Structure 1
Amino acid sequence: MLGLLLLQVLASCLWLGHSEVVNSFASCPQFFYAGTTPNDALNPKNPAWICQRFSNSYHYATLYDRDRRIPVYSAYKYEPGDAKRPHSWWFVEPQLIGKNNLKEMERESVLIEQHKFTIDQIKQSQAVLTDYNVTGLDRGHLSPNGHQYSRESKTATFTLTNIVPQDSSLNKGQWNIYESKKMPTKTKTRGCTTTYVITGAVPGNTYIAEGRVNRPSHIWSAACCLVNEEPKDTWGAIAENNKNKVEELSLGKLEERLTKLYGGTVTLFNNACPRK
C-alpha cells in the first residue's frame, strides 16, 4: 500500500509539471532580456505566471492577477510583421480554472461545449467576454498584435489574460499612436536589432462587471533596445487611464514613477539596460 501511495504522489507531481501556469517564467525566459523578470514589487497577492501558448508555441509572457482579473504586465520581443490581422474571437486561459491538462488558451465556447466546464468555473479566477460589455472602455492589449510577427503570434494576443479595461479614447488615440508610430521610429532610429518590451497596468480603485474586473489607473510600457546583442538604449511611456495623453520618459524615470504608484521599489529590466 505504501508503494502504491508513493506512486500516486509521484504521478501527481509529474502531472502538475505539465502546467504552463506555474510560479515562475522558467518555461519562457526568452521574453526577458538576460532572463531577468521585473522584481517582486509588481506581484499581486494571488498571481499566475503564464507562458502564453498557442499553436504549440510560446509567444509572450504574462503575470496575471487572479483577484483583480487583469494582467499585471505582458513581456515580449518587439517583432512587428506583415501577417494579416487574425480572427475576431477571444480566448481565455483553461489553466486558471483548476486541475486539467489543457496547456493552451482556448475559446469560452469550446471549454463549455467540448470540455464541459461551466461559465462560473471559468469566471472564478479570470475575466470573460461578458465582463467587457461596457461603454467607454475597450479591451486594451498589453502585448499588442501589431508588435508580433506571425499570424499565430498575433492571434495569441487575443486572450483576455492579456487585456485590461482601457479608456476608449486613449486606446484608439495616443496609446495607439505610441504603439504603431512611436515604437517603429524609436527602434529604427536607434538601430535596435532586438527590443524587449514590458507593458503593464497599475491597478485602480474602481471596477467593472459588478466588481469583478479592475479598471487600471495607468497603462505603462518600457523597452530595452539591443544593438548586436548589447543593451544600448531604453525608453518608457505612461498614461493615465482616463485621459488621451501619453508621457514618454526614460526607463529610470518610469521606474521612479511606478515605485510611487505601486508603493515599492520597481525594477523592470536587467541592470545592463541603461536607466537614463
Structure 2
Amino acid sequence: MKALRGFLTQTPLALWTAVAVVPFLLIATLGFRDNTGIFANPLGLGGDFLPENFATAWNGPVGSSGLQGMLLNSLSAFVVALILNLGLGSLGAFFGSRLPGRAKHVYLSFFVLGTVVPAVLLLVPLYRTFNSLNALNSPWALGVVYGLMTLPTTVIVLHGFFTAFPEEVIEAAKVDGLGEFAIFLRIVVPLSLGALTTAGLLLAVWVWSETQIGIVLLQNADSQTAAVGILGFKGRFTAQLGPLFAGLTIIAIPVIALFLGFHRTITKGIALGGVSK
C-alpha cells in the first residue's frame, strides 16, 4: 500500500516535470540543426550537426546584434527592477501587515487588483511618457517600469510572511527603543532573506522573459534585452532557425540555473506568502 501511495504521488510530479523539461530539450536539440533539417524532421535528430549555431547566436546572425550585449541589457534592467521592487515592496508589505483588521484587507485588495491589470493597456501611456522624457531605448528606465509593474505581486508574496512574523521579536525591539522603520531595517529584513529571495527570483523569471513592453520601449537594437533582441534573429522573409533556437537555449540557462539553485527557497517563500493571521 505504501508503495502504491508513493507511485500515485510521484507519477503526476514526474509527468509535470516532463511537461516542463521536454520542450526545453527539444529547443536545445533544434539549436544544433539547420533550416533544412528542422523543416524535414522537426521532432527528430536528422540533418547536419551544427554546434556553431551557438556561436552565431552569441555573436549575432547577419544583420542582428549578438546575445552578449543583450544579456547585459537584461541584467541592467533586472538589477534596477530588483532594487526598486524589493525596496518598495518589502516596505509596503511590512507596514501593510501592521495595519489593523479590516484596513489590512482593504490595503491588500488594491495590490490584488494591480495583478490583474493587462500590460497591453499600459503600452501607449508608457511610450508617450518615455518619449517625452527621452528615456526610450534605455534598459535602466525599462527596469524602473518592470520594478513598479511587479510591485503588487511582491507585496502579496511578502505580506503573508510579514503578517506571520513573530510579534514577540517586534515587541522586544520596541522595548529597546527602536521605531517602526528601524525595526524593519535592523530586525525584519535580516530575518526575511528567504522571503525576499523568493520575491527576487520570481521577478527575475518575469523580467528575463518579458517582451511585450520591451518591444515598445526598446526600439534600438543595441539597447534591447535578450528576450526582445532574439526576435531579430527572424527576418521578414527568411529566418535562421538554428541560431534562433540556440539563442533561446542560451537565454533560458540563467533562469534555469537560478531555479535549480533556489527552488526550495521559492517553494518555501510562496508557501509562507500564503499564510496570514
Q: What range describes the TM-score normalised by the shorter chain of this pair?
A: under 0.3
TM-score by length of 2: 0.25
**Hey, which of these two has a bigger chunk of strand by percent?**
1
**Hey, which of these two has a bigger chunk of helix by percent?**
2
Larger-Rg structure: 2
Q: Choose between structure 1 and 2 for higher RCO, CA contacts under 8 A separated by at least 6 residues.
A: 2
TM-score by length of 1: 0.25
